[in-house]
């Protein structure tokens, strides 16, 4: 398939410093900050980061041509990243990372200087949306619009103070109570009036999203909070010509589901039940111990199987799946999450079988490289003048946001193909569909017509 060069995208070069701003400076954000600083100092490799370690095939298999992702498209250099963020606790990134207990002491001490310099700005916080946390480092305002204006001022001041030419925002804070859309979310006009009226349905994460988009800062939602999903904020992203993406970092148990479930479906093996439970002891686990916050996560996690194993398309195989998802707060485990999956499947002639998965993972270690990749790719999208939902970044999310009327794609391999073809398109390289008919005697002209 040949790329039409007239439809290609011109991308501005990544000149100057890039501010990477994170609402939330807890375990995920500080592990991300520390990891980048460690890589810059030669103390570690950027394992888990597709932008830093990924290679992409270019052209036909017979050409044997590959490129590092970082060489193919003009990504910002790690040396040009400047970190900042907001948190309701006043501790700097070093102190916060020490509290999170994700990183080993020797590594953390080696990075004490750069991490200590990253100090949180006062956060927009409402305990009605995160009931298990409270802290002193918060903003005050007459209404939610004033809080949004304070965030906008923070963004401008941070960029000026650190000499940044661009910024991106990646949500790394706790999961909020589930908030379905209301009338205030139906349009940008209604939402802005709601900010002025202190509408109780507008959450802090939506205020951050609004502030970022008003400043034309690309925004990625790393949580199951409902923000970039709202019609009003999608309207604002289009109006401001700014990229958005989400939602909810795809890390542990859901990552396994997007690998295993497509394989079962592709082999037409039935699934009678999928029981998933997690034990987690970090701040995220504490927050999710609240039923309201867990509801947000449950919606995000259960939607994956519903979409991959379509009961309407394959009723004999997947219509009556018993899908259970549980998260248990267990403080002794800290950031070392354990996910258990019991999958009851059936095959030829209906004979039952089972699959057991026990994933002992480190939540923030899996999330940190996702934050890096999203920051770099969202900045790339901004420089390419892309606007609105960036579906090509679905690879990184549990609940990918797509345009209205479209069905999200959850198959990890399909998501990667879409991401890689987008990068090929950016560089006017031939898109790859793996059809391979040219190897069976059909020439390229005929292949293009199939």
Cβ contact 400:394 at 8 Å: yes
pLDDT bracket for residue 134 (50, 70, 90): confident
- In this prediction, residue 310 carries a pLDDT of 86
Q: Strand 322-329 and strand 270-280: pairing? A: parallel
- In this prediction, residue 438 carries a pLDDT of 54
From residue 209, give the alpha-carbon distance in Å to each of 144, 219, 232, 280, 377.
13, 7, 11, 28, 18
pLDDT bracket for residue 301 (50, 70, 90): low
From residue 197, give the alpha-carbon distance in Å to each of 92, 142, 184, 200, 234.
33, 10, 10, 9, 21
- The upper half-sphere exposure of residue 107, i.e. CA atoms within 13 Å in the direction of its Cβ, equals 19
- In this prediction, residue 446 carries a pLDDT of 47
State pTM to two decimals.
0.90
pLDDT per residue as tens digits for the range 358-413: 999 898 999 999 999 999 999 999 999 999 999 999 999 999 999 988 989 999 99
Percentage of residues in the chain having pLDDT higher than 70: 90
- In this prediction, residue 290 carries a pLDDT of 63
Please, what is the average pLDDT of the chain?
91
- 286-293 average pLDDT score: 63
- In this prediction, residue 253 carries a pLDDT of 87
Cβ contact 23:171 at 8 Å: yes
Count of other CB atoms within 10 angstroms of residue 94: 22
- In this prediction, residue 175 carries a pLDDT of 86
- 41-52 average pLDDT score: 97
- In this prediction, residue 72 carries a pLDDT of 96
Measured CA to CA, the distance from residue 181 to residue 358 in angstroms comes to 36
pLDDT per residue as tens digits for the range 323-369: 998 888 888 877 788 889 999 999 999 999 999 999 998 989 999 99
Beta bridge partners of 85: 22
Q: Which residues contact 390 (CB under 8 A, 6 or more apart)?
A: 243, 244, 245, 377, 378, 381
């Amino acid at each position: 398939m040949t790329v039409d060069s007239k439809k290609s995208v011109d991308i501005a070069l990544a000149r100057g410093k890039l501010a990477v701003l994170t609402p939330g400076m807890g375990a995920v954000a500080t592990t991300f900050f520390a990891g980048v600083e460690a890589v810059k100092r030669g103390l570690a490799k950027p394992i888990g980061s597709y932008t830093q370690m990924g290679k992409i095939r270019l052209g036909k298999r017979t050409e044997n041509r590959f490129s590092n992702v970082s060489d193919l498209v003009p990504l910002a250099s790690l040396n040009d990243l400047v970190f900042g963020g907001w948190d309701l606790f006043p501790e700097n990134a070093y102190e916060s990372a020490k509290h999170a207990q994700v990183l080993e002491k020797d590594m953390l001490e080696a990075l004490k200087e750069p991490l200590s310099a990253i100090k949180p700005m006062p956060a927009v916080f409402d305990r009605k949306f995160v009931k298990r946390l409270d802290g002193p480092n918060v903003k005050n305002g007459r209404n939610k619009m004033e809080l949004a204006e304070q965030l906008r001022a923070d963004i401008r001041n941070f960029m000026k103070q650190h000499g940044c030419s661009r910024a991106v925002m990646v949500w790394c804070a706790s999961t909020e109570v589930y908030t379905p859309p209301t009338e205030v979310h139906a349009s940008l006009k209604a939402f802005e009036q709601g900010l002025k009226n202190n509408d109780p349905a507008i959450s802090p994460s939506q205020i951050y999203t609004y502030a970022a988009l008003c400043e034309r800062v690309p925004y990625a939602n790393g949580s199951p909070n409902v923000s970039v999903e709202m019609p009003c904020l999608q309207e604002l992203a289009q109006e401001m010509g700014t990229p958005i993406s989400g939602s909810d970092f795809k890390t542990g148990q859901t990552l396994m589901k997007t690998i295993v479930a497509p394989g079962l479906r592709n082999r037409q093996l039935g699934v009678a039940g999928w029981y998933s439970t997690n034990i987690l002891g970090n701040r995220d686990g504490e927050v999710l111990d609240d039923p309201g916050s867990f509801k947000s996560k449950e919606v995000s996690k259960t939607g994956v199987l519903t979409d991959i194993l379509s009961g309407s398309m394959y009723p004999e195989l997947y219509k009556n799946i018993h899908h259970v998802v549980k998260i248990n707060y267990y403080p002794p485990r800290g950031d070392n999450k354990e996910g258990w999956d019991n999958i009851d499947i059936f095959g030829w002639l209906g004979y039952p079988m089972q699959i057991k998965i026990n994933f002992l993972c480190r939540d923030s270690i899996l999330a940190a490289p996702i934050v890096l990749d999203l920051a770099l790719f969202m900045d790339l999208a901004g420089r390419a003048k892309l606007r609105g939902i960036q579906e090509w970044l679905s690879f990184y999310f549990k609940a990918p946001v797509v345009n209205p009327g479209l069905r999200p794609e959850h198959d990890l391999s399909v998501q990667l193909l879409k991401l890689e073809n987008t990068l090929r398109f950016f560089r006017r390289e031939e898109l790859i569909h793996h059809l391979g008919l040219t190897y069976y005697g059909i020439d390229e002209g005929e292949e293009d017509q199939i």
